[in-house]
DNA sequence: CGAAACATCCGCCACT
DNA sequence: GTAGTGGCGGATGTTT
């Protein structure tokens, strides 16, 4: 794990707007480019002022033809990157097309003057070409992780995470993980509550971890789980409200505790107890969002021994108290919001 | 909040 | 020799 340094630029001083630029090349992946457009480029000044300034830079002479066949134009060029303090490289056209020398040096000098560099999906290949990622922990789309590691041996490629924050360098896995990463940046800039509100606006589950977490584990698909581990997880999810020990889980998985702990780590990327806690907190979030139950009752229903224990973990992981979480979640449920009313919160 | 009791995790190592 | 298993114990984290 790369340095445990505090997130840099964790909060916005005064009211200077952050300026975010996304870079598109010929053949850019439509969805990946749309991610920063949606998160940063959409005017959200009704949530907080000032919102970001955002523009799209053409790395090739426009018009640019996207990978889905339509063309687009933008007045901004590589030299405009010097005005950005966050630069996003969304899914580049492909892993074979190297960035131009101008783009490389623009990225290098942006980094030197303190800008944050962000990549989505195979955009990591572009950042890697600048040399700035050498020795850093990074990620990319799982299908290209091996290729990235081979081409840039100095990187520490971790294909198991949704995104990685390493100093001012941010990389994310396949397409949709880019949304998580962009929301993470919003959280660094504006705090958890604002990021949460944005997540709700774009109908993303707001269950992400606190800002000190450098790694966000990828949600594993049940199919990817080893047999016994999956059985234990299923069992645990059905019994979340009662006390569960790792020893019991091991029994459900038909393994010794030691082997179970090892298998679990390999498959899930975190320890059994940590996973359990996460599931419980997610359940608590759902209750807070969709009921008026007191925290004591929720603690009981989610398998926490006491409300104090629940508050402790909730605050630590989400950096908000349970009641504050409920308040912001409900206060921002306004007219026009697709989740108005009292629908069940999704997992 | 802190202290004390308790659970978990992980390197180590012996064993199959 | 290699690969996987599982017990042990101390550091670390959790719960009361």
Q: Mind listing the pLDDT tens digit for each residue in A237-264?
A: 888 878 788 888 888 888 888 888 888 8
Specify the pLDDT at position A183. Answer: 87
Q: Is the pLDDT of residue A13 over 70?
A: no
Of A39-48, A84-93, A167-176, the poorest mean pLDDT is in: A167-176
At A336 the pLDDT is 35
Cβ proximity of A307 and A287 under 8 Å: no
Q: How high is the mean pLDDT of chain A?
A: 79
Tell which wins on pLDDT, A182 or A249.
Answer: A182
How many angstroms is C1' of C3 away from CA of A241? 38
- pTM of structure: 0.60
CA of A69 to C1' of C3 (A): 51
Protein residue closest via CA to C1' of B8? A273
pLDDT surpassing 70 at residue A49 = yes
Measured CA to C1', the nucleotide nearest A273 is: B8
Nucleotide nearest residue A303, measured CA to C1': C15
In the structure, how far is the CA atom of residue A135 from the C1' atom of nucleotide C8, in angstroms? 36
For A101 and B13, how far is CA from C1' in angstroms? Answer: 54
Strand C lies under 7 A from the Cβ of residue A113:
no
**A217 band by pLDDT with thresholds 50, 70 and 90:** very low
CB A315 under 7 Å to nucleic chain C: no
User: Which of the nucleotides lies closest to A304 (Cα–C1')?
Assistant: C15
> Could you check: is the Cβ of residue A256 within 7 Å of any atom of nucleic acid strand C?
yes
pLDDT of the residue at A31: 93
pLDDT of residue A14: 42
């Amino acid at each position: 794990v790369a340095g445990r340094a505090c997130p840099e630029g964790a909060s916005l001083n005064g009211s200077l707007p952050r300026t975010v630029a996304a870079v598109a090349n010929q053949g850019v992946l439509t969805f990946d480019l749309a991610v920063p457009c949606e998160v940063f480029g959409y005017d959200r000044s009704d949530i907080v002022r000032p919102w970001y300034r955002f523009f799209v830079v053409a790395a090739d002479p426009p018009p640019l033809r996207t990978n889905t066949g339509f063309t687009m134009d933008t007045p901004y060029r590589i030299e405009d990157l010097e005005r950005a303090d966050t630069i996003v490289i969304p899914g580049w056209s492909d892993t074979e097309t190297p960035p131009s020398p101008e783009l490389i040096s623009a990225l290098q000098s942006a980094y030197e003057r303190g800008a944050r560099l962000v990549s989505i999906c195979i955009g990591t290949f572009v950042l890697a070409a600048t040399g700035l990622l050498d020795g850093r922990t990074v990620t990319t789309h799982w299908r290209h992780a091996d290729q990235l590691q081979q081409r840039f041996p100095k990187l520490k490629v971790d294909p198991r995470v949704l995104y990685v924050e390493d100093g001012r360098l941010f990389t994310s896995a396949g397409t949709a993980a880019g949304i998580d990463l962009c929301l993470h940046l919003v959280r660094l800039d504006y705090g958890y509550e604002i990021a949460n509100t944005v997540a709700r606006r774009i109908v993303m589950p707001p269950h992400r971890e606190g800002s000190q977490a450098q790694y966000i584990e990828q949600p594993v698909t049940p199919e990817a789980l080893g047999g016994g581990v999956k059985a234990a997880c299923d069992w645990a999810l059905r019994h979340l409200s009662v006390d569960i020990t790792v020893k019991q889980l091991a029994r459900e998985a038909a393994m010794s505790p030691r082997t179970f702990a090892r298998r679990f780590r390999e498959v899930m990327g975190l320890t059994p107890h940590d996973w359990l806690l996460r599931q419980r907190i997610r359940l608590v979030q759902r209750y807070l969002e969709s009921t008026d139950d007191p925290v004591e009752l929720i603690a009981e229903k989610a398998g926490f021994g006491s409300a104090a224990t629940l508050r402790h973990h909730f605050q630590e992981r989400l950096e908000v108290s349970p009641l504050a979480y409920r308040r912001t979640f409900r206060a921002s449920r306004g007219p026009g919001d697709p989740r108005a009313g009292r629908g069940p919160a999704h997992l």
